[in-house]
Amino acid sequence: MQNAIMHIMEQYGYLGIFLLIILENIFPPIPSEIILTFGGFMTTFTSMTQVGIIAISTAGAVLGAYILYGIGRVLSPERLEKLLEYKFVRMLGFKKDDINKSVGWFSKRGKLTVFICRCIPIVRSLISIPAGMAKMNLIEFGIFTLFGTLIWNTLLVLLGTAAGQSWEKIAGYVDKFSSITLVVLVVIFVVGAAIFLKSRLGKKDKDKNID
């Protein structure tokens, strides 16, 4: 994948970076650290500039974020509530109120959440989906996505430029950070799911005893 990314960037320049970043936002396994750090390195031997790469990659990231935001709007809370009509979903202890609470939480803290998550690997793309589900204001979503993305892109492009031919080391460090982030997210999800199910099952047992 790395060679293909480098080839596209060398062949199509800014346009290649723009399209790759859009795809990276929609399909997170495409590594933005390679695109941005190699892009930074390219400024040392091509006519491309740091400002140009940061600007075009940020534009692509915002566009990609809006696409995922649109998917979130399609996966509305109302549609998720329909899933609760299935018995196996209800057996897990999920209730319509859980969806409303989640959307309500995001509605209150969504701006800061979007901004912070845009600087965190993996979730930086996926955060757009719950933003869409919560019907976050389009302009506010764009603004906080823009500034969060700008920080991430600027950092990696500058590091790539500074590292020069050693840009792959920077990409490697970021990749390790992404792997650690993924492990942490999985652990949080598993622990959170276990606590959730335990509390729900405990509540059911308590209600049965009362009856």
Please give the residue range of the domain that contains residue 15.
Answer: 2-80+88-210
- Per-residue pLDDT of 23-71, as tens digits, reads 988 886 778 888 999 999 999 999 999 999 999 999 999 999 999 899 8
pLDDT in tens, 112-139: 888 888 887 777 887 888 888 888 889 9
Could you tell me the sign of the dihedral formed by the alpha carbons of 61, 78, 85, 191, in that order? positive
Q: What is the domain count for the chain?
A: 1
Q: What is the largest CA-CA distance in the chain?
A: 76
Question: Please, what sign has the CA dihedral across residues 121, 123, 129, 132?
Answer: negative
pTM beyond 0.95: the answer is no
pLDDT digits (tens, 9 = 90+) for 142-164: 999 999 999 999 999 999 999 88
DSSP alpha helix (H) spans, 94-166 = 96-117, 123-126, 128-133, 138-163
